[in-house]
Amino acid sequence: MSTLRGVQRVKMPSLNVIYEQEAVQKRTFTKWINSHLAKRAPPLVVTDLFEDIKDGVMLLALLEVLSGQKLQCEQGKKLKRIHWVANIGTALTFLEGRKIKLVNINSTDIVDGRPSIVLGLMWTIILYFQIEELTSSLPALQALSSSTSSLDSSNSSTETTSPPVKRKPLPPPQGGARKALLRWVQHTATKRVGVEVKDFGPSWRTGLAFYAVIQSLRPNLVDMERVWRRPNRENLQEAFLLAEKELGIPQLLDPEDVDVDKPDEKSIMTYVAQFLKHHPDNFKVPGAGFPSFPTAICIHREQRKSLRELKMWLDQLERDATQSQETEGNLAQQYQVSLFKSLHVQLEMRHKQVEGALQSTQKDGMLTVDQALVKQAWERVSKRLLDWHLLLDRSLPTPLDMVGAWLHEAEGALRQEIVVQQAHDVTASTVHRALEQHKDVFKSLESHLQVFQRIHKDRSVDGVPVPLDQLQDMAERMNFVATSSSIHLARMEYLENQHHMQAFLTLTESKLKSWIIKYGRQESVEVMLHNYVSFVEKQHFFEKYDALFQSLKQSAEAYVNADSSVDEGEMGVRRFMREVVTQWRSLSMEVRSVRSMLEEVLSNWERYSSIVASLQAWLEDAEETLGQPENTKREFFRNLSHWMDQHSAMNDAGNFLIETCDETMSLELKQQLLLLNGRWRDLFLKVKQYARADELEKWRKDHLKAVTTLKELLDTAEAKLNAPVQVSFLSVRGFV
């Protein structure tokens, strides 16, 4: 479908505006987080959102409070970056498990503290756990919204006759939840006191809307006459204080952040949604200005009635098509005398209405029974008209019939929708197979086009006239296929490379998750390092990315050159390319850091195991030596300082492993260290006097050696000084 282009360029917000918006959201979201973390035992406090979220501990604690579930969390003073990534990964996996769509949010960006990504994640959490959850208790408003959108769509027409596919549910974050919250404010509060609220931005600047909401909950708290006459800042400050004192709603907003030309919508939505907790049943109260349950039931009945009428119309159209196709007369008459053509146009006119009617209003995306029946009826009548159309084209004289058959095959290729599977590699394989089939279809485009152009010029085939309406229909279709085939093939090649890249990045993330864990015994870490080397080095991991990226880049450029409109909007090709580059930059850095981490863990395991074995053997000998004579003990413990160093190194390696290993292994290490340290402590108290004996002996020997060397130097110097020196007067005179 063509893309409408505006004449004027949209003015992008300045960097200062963006930074200020981020600052406001950061303050609001931080206060919202702390209001929930205060419920935790012990409570936690976020001071700098972008920094405090990096290790994932605060994020997991917040999700535990919000969900009531216990989540695995890597904790400790010596956690490294890869453990931070693991914590963030646990949080994101938990959110995805709740069917929360995370767009362009990955672990490494959160660990890096990227402001836009962190704020995007927190907004997603607030939407799901507060705004969407609370507005979902407003079924009447949701019914109104979905009914309105369905009715609006029924008045439009479309340019295509391809049957509608199963629709995803309308996204509540940007649509249903926001509209439901805004309608709740309009119907339950502001409408009653004459305050107009059109949005979650400038409408709240004066503070009157906040007072209107408070008054709807506690009418005796607010003197609206006095409020109307006060300055904005004063109203805002008192409204926030009043809501906190009387309703227990935390002050998430600062007056100076709201009293601006364009207040931040997300921050205001976050604050206003809290009032829903105190007003959950208002839609049941007669006269509250809010649709009652009987109204909602009426809306639901109207929706069902509309769907049933639509199905009846589709059934009638199918019967008309069957009857018309069986009408006596040749195929040219069927095409010309408002039979096939009129039915085809009628179906086109209803496509948009059917598509709107099949929008799911349920959270799971499933269709209702009535919607499913409409979908089945649409698919049946679409297929019948498509088969009839093919029959009409095949009934034309040769070779035009062959052109018609090929034209339907080509149109089918252009119509084919690739079902995106959960696994990107499966989707890539599906696209590849379809691409090869479509290439095979379109390779004969030129030959069929030449045949058709010759027949279209003569208006006949070997003197046999062709119905003009049918010939013109084929001309339009042929032109569409000719102009669309190159775009279609470029799109398919891009999609194949796109899903290959996404499969590669997904595999990389899954590998990282398997490597960035709490480790086990030395043998398991060795296996992990072997797997890492096999995946990264033997399979030429980085070279593979370079090859995939080059293929993706070439296909993306070809796709954009074929259709510049695909580079627009949030799903734009170049935007996807930039996201790939950003994601790869983080992932590649993490992959490279894994090896050093695994090698460090192995090094500590080897050091720990070696020292433990030698120290245990030495302790046994030392404990036996305690009963020996003093000279024997002094000789045995003369290198005690060496074992003190070994004991310290053992504890350093052991504590490192305790921090980086899983719970079972950490407990085993703690018990082993506790036992060894206990034996060491008992022994050291008895032999500490020998701690520097070897050093003292070394110092004594070094001292004696130095004294001897000095004495020899002095004796040599004295001998040289006492030795006579023969001096010649002539030599002295010559020297002077």
Is residue 331 scored above 70 in pLDDT?
no
pLDDT per position as a tens digit, 231-260: 889 889 988 999 888 888 899 999 998 988
Class of the CATH domain delimited by 176-277:
mainly alpha
pLDDT at 647 (0 to 100): 95
Helix (H, G, I), strand (E, B) or coil at 1: coil
With a cut of 80, say whether residue 163 has pLDDT above it. no
pLDDT at 140: 45
Q: How confident is the model at residue 191 (pLDDT cuts 50, 70, 90)?
A: low
60-64, 290-294, 386-390, 450-454: least confident range? 290-294
How large is the greatest C-alpha to C-alpha distance in the chain, in angstroms?
152
Given this model, what pLDDT does residue 356 score?
Answer: 79
CATH number of 397-508: 1.20.58
Q: Each residue of 536-587: pLDDT tens digit? A: 999 999 999 999 999 999 999 999 998 888 866 546 788 889 889 988 988 8
Provide the CATH number for the domain formed by 15-137 in this structure.
Answer: 1.10.418.10
Q: Is the pLDDT of residue 148 over 70?
A: no
In the predicted structure, residue 416 carries a pLDDT above the cut 80 = yes
Range in 5-19, 28-42, 435-449, 578-592 the model is least confident about = 5-19
The pLDDT-based confidence of 335 (bands split at 50, 70, 90) is low
Look at residue 409 in the predicted model and tell me its pLDDT.
92
Q: 376 by DSSP, 3-state: which?
A: helix
Mean pLDDT value of segment 315-334:
72
Model confidence at 106: pLDDT above 90 = no
pLDDT of residue 155 exceeding 50: no
Backbone phi, then psi, for 464, in 5-degree steps?
-90, 115
Assess whether pLDDT exceeds 50 at residue 205: yes
CB 386 within 8 A of CB 371: no
Q: Residue 605 has what pLDDT?
A: 96
Rounded-to-integer distance, Cα 455 and Cα 466, Å? 9
Q: What are the distances in angstroms from CA 140 to CA 127, 276, 278, 284, 292?
A: 20, 15, 18, 10, 7
Is the CB of residue 647 less than 8 Å from the CB of residue 595?
no
The domain 522-690 is placed in CATH, from the list 1.10.3210, 1.20.58, 2.60.40, 1.10.12, at 1.20.58
Predicted pLDDT of residue 46: 93
Confidence label for 103 from pLDDT (cuts 50, 70 and 90): confident
H-type alpha helices, 14-138: 15-37, 49-52, 57-67, 81-97, 107-111, 115-126, 133-135
- Mean pLDDT over 214-227 rounds to 79
332 token code pair: 């040219």
What would the DSSP string read from start to end of 385-436? HHHHHHHHHHTSPTTHHHHHHHHHHHHHHHHPPPPPPSSHHHHHHHHHHHHH
For 627-654, how does the pLDDT look when each residue is reduced to its tens digit (9 = 90+)? Answer: 899 889 888 988 888 999 999 999 999 9
Q: pLDDT confidence of 161, banded at 50, 70, 90?
A: very low
Q: How confident is the model at residue 388 (pLDDT cuts 50, 70, 90)?
A: confident
Mean pLDDT of 292-317: 75
Rounded to a whole number of angstroms, the CA Rg of the chain reads 40
Cis peptide before 231 (omega within 30 of 0): no
Q: Is pLDDT above 50 for 299?
A: yes
Give pLDDT, residue 78: 67
Q: Which pLDDT belongs to residue 584?
A: 92
Tens-place pLDDT, residues 125-143: 998 888 877 766 554 444 4
Confidence at residue 13, expressed as pLDDT on a 0 to 100 scale? 46
> Average of pLDDT values for 615-631?
92
SS3 string of 678-716? HHHHHHHHHHHHHCCHHHHHHHHHHHHHHHHHHHHHHHH
Alpha-helical segments (H) within 248-368: 255-258, 265-272, 293-325, 331-336, 340-357
pLDDT for the residue numbered 196: 82
Inter-residue contact 38 to 65 (CB < 8 Å)? no
